[in-house]
Structure 1
Amino acid sequence: MDKKMNVQVQPQSKMTPDEYFEFDNKSDIRHEFFDGELFAMTGATKNHNLINTSLTVNLVNGITNSTCRVFSNDMRVKIENGYVYPDLAVACSDLEFESNDLDTLTNPIVIVEILSNSTEAFDRGDKFSYYRMIPTLKEYILVSQNKCRVEQFIRKEKKMWSMLYYEDMAQIMKIESVNCELLLSDIYKWVEFNK
């Protein structure tokens, strides 16, 4: 989704996590939650939806480890100081959830965000720093919806990440942590970039 709106839903006072869950579970739209503040999620563009669908299908078909599961943008993920809805999350082996309702994943191995003009700075900055605090996370992937460009961040050690950069439709991105290869032309299938 084209993630956070720049307008807080409830700016006057901080919410507790319980208040957030009650509000988010009753709402028709999803909200991300950071340090007691609530942020509404906005709708997605055509390119965003096409990329999300292609990524989901190709990840599901490409993962050779049968214990891995792909979750699309309605799976909430726990971060140290809140809750987010990444565009895609992959978890393997024993899936871990924050509670018995199984709607908040706590052990993603791969997270994918599809960049938009309104969220790119956040996805690259603060949100990536939140994701880096998830001990199970091994790869963070940013996908542009405006041009053929994918950036893959791979955890090498606790505080050391490497980055691979792809911008050719013929390139193959290897997602080592889930033993999957994705061709960029498959990720961008049906996507039309503005000239």
Structure 2
Amino acid sequence: MNAATDTAVRDFFDWQDRLAQRVRPLDEARVHGQLITRLQALLRERLRGLPARVWAPGPAVHLAEGARTVHPDLAVSSDEADLCSGLPLHAPSLLIEVATAATAGADRGEGFEQARTLPTLREYVIVEAGRARVDVYRRRADGGWLLDSHGAGEGFVLAAIDGTIEVDALYEGARLR
């Protein structure tokens, strides 16, 4: 090859790299939406006939401290006031965030810090949009939190819905990196 061809090939690969970096957030956003929809369906199925409800996407949740609200991707509550009055929720037992590269730090940091101020919260779940991984933070009897991580081929138990969700079922059809 000559110098002009080498430069054209190098420019093409540089262009592909730049394009891939722009497309990656769009792919993650698509998977984010797919996972929220899939989670909502799986949770609704599990809650059928129980005095509980799943809200998605982005339900307003009133924090115990002050008058602030947060907007997790999904929330589950069996509190009668929440079931009757609608939003904002005051007593959810389960909050779920679908984390992308852009939101993962906030979901694991400030999001979890704010969520655990809710006295009714039993579980805080982070579902990763970039790979098949689910982290379940569970409140212990002493008020501390225990982390359980789950990947492909595993299931994760959610006490708030009295059931298990299979990671593979959750990610079925999602295009991961």
TM-score normalized by structure 2? 0.77
Offset at 1:101?
A: 6.7
- Whole-angstrom CA distance in 1 between matches of 2:49 and 2:161: 6
Offset at 1:158?
A: 5.2
- Whole-angstrom CA distance in 2 between matches of 1:174 and 1:74: 23
Please identify which structure carries the higher helix content: 2
Offset at 1:103?
A: 2.1
The answer to whether the aligner puts 1:185 opposite 2:168 as a matched pair is: yes
- Whole-angstrom CA distance in 2 between matches of 1:66 and 1:101: 18
Q: Is the 8 A contact 1:64 1:180 kept in 2?
A: no
Offset at 1:64?
A: 5.9
SS of residue in 2 equivalent to 1:86: coil
Q: Is the 8 A contact 1:142 1:151 kept in 2?
A: yes
The answer to whether the aligner puts 1:174 opposite 2:167 as a matched pair is: no
Q: Percent identity?
A: 23
The residue number in structure 1 matching 2:69 is 83
Offset at 1:93?
A: 4.0
Deviation sequence 1:33-81 (CA, Å, 0-9, x none): xxxxxxxxxxx81100110111000011013661010000242111224
Greater Cα shift, 144-153 or 159-168: 159-168
- Whole-angstrom CA distance in 2 between matches of 1:158 and 1:88: 26
The residue number in structure 1 matching 2:101 is 117
Q: Is the 8 A contact 1:63 1:180 kept in 2?
A: no
AA paired with 1:193? L
Give the structure with higher Rg (CA).
2
Please identify which structure carries the higher strand content: 1
2:126 aligns with one of 126, 138, 142 = 142
AA paired with 1:135? P
Q: Is the 8 A contact 2:43 2:161 kept in 1?
A: no
Q: Is the 8 A contact 1:51 1:189 kept in 2?
A: no
TM-score normalized by structure 1? 0.70
Q: Is the 8 A contact 2:125 2:135 kept in 1?
A: yes
Q: Which runs of 5+ in 2 are unaligned?
A: 1-27
Q: Is the 8 A contact 2:76 2:160 kept in 1?
A: no
Instruction: Specify whether residues 96 and 147 from structure 1 end up closer, same or farther in structure 2 by C-alpha distance, changes over 3 A only.
Output: same
Structure 1 runs, 4 residues or longer, greater than 4 Å off: none
AA paired with 1:72? A
Instruction: Specify whether residues 164 and 106 from structure 1 end up closer, same or farther in structure 2 by C-alpha distance, changes over 3 A only.
Output: same
